[in-house]
Structure 1
């Protein structure tokens, strides 16, 4: 998938859906936002950038922790999501700078940042070495990178349940092994090589697992809106009876994850940490 198609994707239906599902997704991934924010020392005057900031959840959590002189900013390729992030920061009374841009090519001020963070925002670059080199030059010497990326699809069955269940009914697009895409960073050694080739040092890529959840009452909405299946079901050309049948089958497939009034799963991730030389 080229950068052009990523831009079209996240500035079209996918970006709009993520805005629509903002509260659901923020709740689902709240523990991961807390991981990233909690690692930022409270009260410090740090300059922090959130890459692939989406609708702003991680930025909001970090900005609330920073001390006087500290500042958080966010960059994302999706204009709809950035617009929502701006609204949320204003409502919270937080001074956060948000920019629509591709972090791979965005012209950041050199050697300014103390910390770069990302929650699932670094797997979509068409040239990840160029992207991480660009981010490194924006980071001061000794500044740090802390990003979360999905491990493999096999280690994240929740994330592919809908696709497996819908496969007999829908001609879903195949996933590519090395992306850009959700599981582009599945291979740990590849991730380490990308960071090393882009000039970072003290690289650590650690497997982490975090329990995430949504309300059982929100499962239908989650399946209807998100992921490859949700995207296909939003196509107005899909027959209504087929859509209903697929939703029934897919929701039943999530039964192993249902725990009473919650749908729970373990997000199997890599925690990427590195230091700018």
Structure 2
């Protein structure tokens, strides 16, 4: 979109990142992300229980796989995907047109403050798209306003860092083997919604009830072979590796660790997520 979206001051750093370098990185690797999370994708869609006439809101839609699949199911309804990244949204629109999904639309917006309208949607979904808000309480309240009474909000979020082998391993290797403190629980990181008590408190405060959190432990895919996975992971953590005195040694360690995780289905690492379901009052 040519117009700069309204962004809450607490989300300006996220906007700068996702409409900049992070967005460009994931746009180039959108298929890899969809492949990596593929074991969880069906679980999210099944829990959403989208109907043929549903109106669906996809929070943090990225390149739009969830939005497009929701639009396929809701062929008499519609699906709206929102994200901060203009490059990811451009790709999402291109893919939707390619698939002739004209009931899938995309808007560059900060879901914490964007005016979606009152009680407009039957279902809101988020696949790794709800952990990065500067004010998650305000964001969930705004999303709740957009959902009709009795409508549902379904999210896929990371469990704690120590439950996710891949990120914890890559983080340690990229720091030169040093033990790093866990990310602050209030910071906008992938793990900001890893504490079930915190998630329930946020959702109740936003007006949701019947909150369910189901633990899912499905390996994540990082590449077809060692070289493929190494290229992806080394680029993802390039800034951290670049700060090391012995970068080449750390990269060798990474390559060896990846080789240890090579299976007949590609490079797989253990992962743990929460499938979060709630209903708006």
Q: Same fold (TM over 0.5)?
A: yes
CA shift for structure 1 position 40: 4.4
Structure 1: segments with no counterpart, 5+ residues: none
CA contact (8 A) 1:11 1:80 kept: yes
Between the aligned partners of 1:2 and 1:161, the Cα distance in structure 2 is 30
* Residue in 2 that maps onto 1:199: 207
Structure 2: segments with no counterpart, 5+ residues: 1-8
* Residue in 2 that maps onto 1:63: 71
CA shift for structure 1 position 255: 3.8
Between the aligned partners of 1:211 and 1:184, the Cα distance in structure 2 is 21
CA contact (8 A) 1:32 1:119 kept: no
Give the 3 Å change call, closer, same or farther, for CA 230–38 of structure 1 in structure 2.
farther
Asked if 1:266 is matched to 2:270, the reply is yes
Q: Which moved more, 1:15-24 or 1:156-165?
A: 156-165
CA shift for structure 1 position 28: 0.9
Asked if 1:81 is matched to 2:71, the reply is no
Between the aligned partners of 2:13 and 2:208, the Cα distance in structure 1 is 28
TM-score by length of 1: 0.89
Between the aligned partners of 1:160 and 1:22, the Cα distance in structure 2 is 22
Between the aligned partners of 1:173 and 1:91, the Cα distance in structure 2 is 44
User: Aligned with 2:88: secondary structure?
Assistant: helix
Question: CA-to-partner distance for each residue in 1:228-272, whole Å, 9 max, x for gaps?
Answer: x23445x7xx79x95544322222223442224511123211111
Aligned residues: 270
CA shift for structure 1 position 81: 1.0
* Residue in 1 that maps onto 2:20: 12
Between the aligned partners of 2:255 and 2:186, the Cα distance in structure 1 is 29
- 1:131-142 matches, within 5 Å, as 131-142=139-150
Between the aligned partners of 2:167 and 2:218, the Cα distance in structure 1 is 14
Between the aligned partners of 1:3 and 1:127, the Cα distance in structure 2 is 8
- 1:176-215 matches, within 5 Å, as 176-214=184-222, 215=224
Between the aligned partners of 1:232 and 1:276, the Cα distance in structure 2 is 41
CA contact (8 A) 1:223 1:247 kept: no
Question: CA-to-partner distance for each residue in 1:188-219, whole Å, 9 max, x for gaps?
Answer: 10111000111111111222222332322421
C-alpha RMSD of the superposition: 2.4
* Residue in 1 that maps onto 2:119: 111
- 1:119-268 matches, within 5 Å, as 119-168=127-176, 175-214=183-222, 215-216=224-225, 217-226=227-236, 229-232=237-240, 243-260=247-264, 262-268=266-272
